[in-house]
Amino acid sequence: MLYSIILVFLLWYTIPHILLYFFPIPNGVRRNTHLCWLKVTVIEILKLPVGLLSPIVVPIALLFTKWEDNKLPAIFWWWDNDISINGDEIDSQGRNAWALDYKENAYYAKAPPRSFWARYVWLGWRNRASSLGESLGYEYKGTEFADRVTLGDPLVGRDNPGWKFVSSGPICQLMVVIPLGTRLCYRFNWGYKFFDKPRTPPVGITFSILSRTG
């Protein structure tokens, strides 16, 4: 059992470096990517124990969280979310899902975004320890965000299979989405998320199966 866990662990952090050679990325950029991803690996390993505790810690934190809150109590900030504990602000119909009177189900849970269950799914499973991850992320220098270079399809996502490679300065990100039938897709996502915010969090997802929508 232990050897199986070690093997999975090694594959999770080794496969991304191999996958780089399946895409037309310039050699110089590829070398920089290896260094970038080694840093991401260190951060992901540091986050791992905190993330594994999320399903246990988050429900405790939610006992001290009110309906109108957008953050967990400060003592639980590692398990908070870099967007909001209530999920994405706008739902699929363009309505404000953070509104206090919004009672429709979130797209990721059969409960309103501010409910105990939806918050548990969002923080305890979908986005584990994301505030800690952001605090360990990369702070843009100068115009690095604006000067980023994208290879592949910049609009790749669950409903738009393909690949994209984004780089700027010392950071980069490779995302690959492969459809699995009409409802599911495989997603690979490694590097730093290029969010337009002062500090961008790392991501290290070698293997994930997701819905084609949402």
Backbone angles phi, psi at 75, to 5 degrees: -65, -20
pLDDT of residue 214: 60
pLDDT tens-digit readout, 36-85? 999 999 999 999 999 999 999 999 999 999 999 999 999 999 999 988 99
pTM: 0.85
Mean per-residue pLDDT, 24-47: 93
Share of the chain above pLDDT 70, in %: 97
Question: Tell me, what's the pLDDT at 91?
Answer: 65
Range scoring the smallest mean pLDDT among 40-44, 98-102, 130-134, 144-148: 98-102
Where do the domains of the chain lie?
2-35+138-211, 51-134
For residue 27, which amino acid is it? N
Segment 83-110 shows an average pLDDT of 82
Query: For 92-101, how does the pLDDT look when each residue is reduced to its tens digit (9 = 90+)?
Result: 666 677 888 8
CA distances from 162 to 152, 196, 214 (A): 8, 22, 17
